[in-house]
Chains A and B, each alone.
Chain A
Amino acid sequence: MEHGWGHGGSSASTAIELICTLLYASVLIGYTLMARLSSQHYKSWPLYRYICWYAGCTCSVVVIIGPFAAAAHSDFRIHMIGHLLLGMLGPLLIVLSAPATLLLRSLPISQARRLSHVLRSRYAALICHPVVAAILNTGGLWLLYTTPLYTWMHQYTAVNLLVHLHIALAGYVFTISMLYVDPVAHRYSHVYRAIVAVIAAALHGMLAKYLYVHPPAGVSTGQAEAGAQWMYYGGDLVQLIIIGLFCYEWYRVTRPRQINVKTALDA
């Protein structure tokens, strides 16, 4: 049974590999071009954002094509690391590289206005809502690992592609629902986002421990235990970074503008 495009020379798998490689190259080049060109008119685009974009796209693409992707089919631990890269670390890096901000300042005005309109649309508002994004993310994971979806993913290329796409997109909307780097039309309070984040993180951790003893079909005990711990602690790490950035944003926003300390010695 064809296990995806890592091995086996079917034309479909090579076509997918080719498309992904081209896509990867073009988004890298495209981002660089837009950043360099727009930096001539506007403030110079910071170096760290280039790096975040390159790193984030690389994290995502290695999970879909190449030797890593091939290994993920048979090794649950590699699969789990792949999930962390595609669904958590990749989106985080991409969010930090502010792609929407870059697009808005690089596109001609009329197209930028159209993009802005799309970003403010009700559909965008819906999927970027913290609760909806959390459900898409965490719910999707629970679905993937506790239903036959996991097996289908390794049997059918189309399912495999869809699952990967969902993991990447769900990770992305969840991250932007927490970290307001790009312009956000529908904002939620810090407390609201924090509560959702903690509950989502809790569900993620619960799933990891659950998988420790109830792995998906066909996964050996050793791999299940290692994979589950990767999910638990790797997830912790990325969540920690997100929490840190989130709290730092709060700290900057609540900066006291003027310290008015009245003491007994004042008039």
Chain B
Amino acid sequence: MTPRTGYMHIQDDPAQPRYIYSKRNLWSGVLFGVGLAAFIDETIFHQLLHWHHFYDLSTTAVGLVSDGFFHAFSWFATIASLFLFADLRRRKGLWLTRWWGGVLLGAGIFQLYDGLVQHKLMGIHQIRYDVELAPYDWTWNIIAVVMIIVGSILLWRTRRRT
């Protein structure tokens, strides 16, 4: 039975829900990634390890604005992304590979922004105090870059082929 649409496999059919919702998969992933990275930052580094401090006295006014905005945005992003995920599931449009690509990209970008702009440029807080910072900063930012690269690859591989 030759398929009438002329595609080899059903998963290549652009009418598949996952293609229709490819943008929603991307945004749900990215928002979740940002929220997850911010959440891990908050729970592990601020609360559990007490490495980060609530307020570093070298914080500038613009740093306070950036921190406040990202803190507020990340909570919203986490919850909204989970409801988007649930919505995708009930519409049978979830594309996990693409979603994970978004997660890695979002988390990586947030972590890089945090590592470069917030820690260094704005001086909101450092990764840890009373230690040699360089290895921490390098590890933090390299992990972020790796996540961005892997995430981008996944997203490229799940892009629309029209």
A residues lining the B interface (CB < 8 Å): 194, 197-199, 201-206, 209-210, 212-213, 225, 228-229, 232, 236, 239-240, 243-244, 247-248, 250-251, 254-256, 259, 261-265
Tell me the nearest residue of chain B to A236, going by C-beta. Answer: B75
| A264 and B7 within 8 A (CB) | yes
Contact partner of A264 among B13, B79, B86, CB < 8 A? B13
| B65 and A198 within 8 A (CB) | no
Point out the residues of chain A lying under 8 angstroms from B41, CB to CB. Answer: none
Point out the residues of chain B lying under 8 angstroms from A212, CB to CB. Answer: 54-55
| A251 and B83 within 8 A (CB) | yes
Tell me the nearest residue of chain A to B71, going by C-beta. Answer: A205
Say how far B117's CB is from chain A's closest CB, in angstroms: 16
B92 in the interface (beta carbon within 8 A)? yes
B120 in the interface (beta carbon within 8 A)? no
Point out the residues of chain A lying under 8 angstroms from B7, CB to CB. Answer: 264
B17 in the interface (beta carbon within 8 A)? yes
CA distance A261 to B68 in the complex (A): 42
Contact partner of B92 among A210, A236, A248, A261, CB < 8 A? A261
B10 in the interface (beta carbon within 8 A)? yes
CA distance A210 to B54 in the complex (A): 11
CA distance A209 to B59 in the complex (A): 10
* Known contacts A244-B79, A262-B15: A209-B54 contact under CB 8 Å: yes
* Known contacts A240-B75, A256-B90: A206-B68 contact under CB 8 Å: yes
| A254 and B68 within 8 A (CB) | no
| B75 and A251 within 8 A (CB) | no
Contact partner of B72 among A205, A248, A251, A262, CB < 8 A? A205
Tell me the nearest residue of chain A to B73, going by C-beta. Answer: A198
Point out the residues of chain B lying under 8 angstroms from A262, CB to CB. Answer: 15
| B17 and A261 within 8 A (CB) | yes
Say how far B22's CB is from chain A's closest CB, in angstroms: 15
B134 in the interface (beta carbon within 8 A)? no
Within 8 A of A (CB), among B24-69: 54-55, 57, 59, 64-65, 67-69
B16 in the interface (beta carbon within 8 A)? yes
The size class of the interface chain B forms with chain A is 20 to 34
SS of A interface (majority): helix
Tell me the nearest residue of chain B to A211, going by C-beta. Answer: B55
Point out the residues of chain A lying under 8 angstroms from B55, CB to CB. Answer: 209, 212-213
Point out the residues of chain B lying under 8 angstroms from A197, CB to CB. Answer: 76
B91 in the interface (beta carbon within 8 A)? yes
Point out which of B73, B76, B82 has the most chain A C-beta atoms below 10 A from its C-beta. Answer: B76
CA distance A251 to B87 in the complex (A): 7
CA distance A261 to B20 in the complex (A): 10
CA distance A206 to B59 in the complex (A): 12
* Known contacts A202-B69, A205-B71: A240-B10 contact under CB 8 Å: no
| B75 and A206 within 8 A (CB) | no
Contact partner of A243 among B4, B16, B69, B79, CB < 8 A? B79
CA distance A263 to B13 in the complex (A): 7
Contact partner of A201 among B5, B72, B79, CB < 8 A? B72
| B73 and A202 within 8 A (CB) | yes
Tell me the nearest residue of chain A to B74, going by C-beta. Answer: A198
CA distance A210 to B65 in the complex (A): 10
| B57 and A206 within 8 A (CB) | no
| A265 and B75 within 8 A (CB) | no
B135 in the interface (beta carbon within 8 A)? no
Known pairs A213-B57, A239-B72, A244-B79 / 4 extra A-B pairs, C-beta < 8 Å: A198-B73, A232-B54, A247-B83, A263-B13
CA distance A203 to B69 in the complex (A): 8
Chain A to chain B contacts (Cβ below 8 Å), 11 pairs: A194-B80, A198-B73, A199-B69, A206-B64, A213-B57, A225-B54, A239-B72, A239-B75, A251-B87, A264-B5, A264-B7
CA distance A198 to B68 in the complex (A): 10
CA distance A163 to B113 in the complex (A): 39
Contact partner of B67 among A198, A209, A228, A229, CB < 8 A? A209
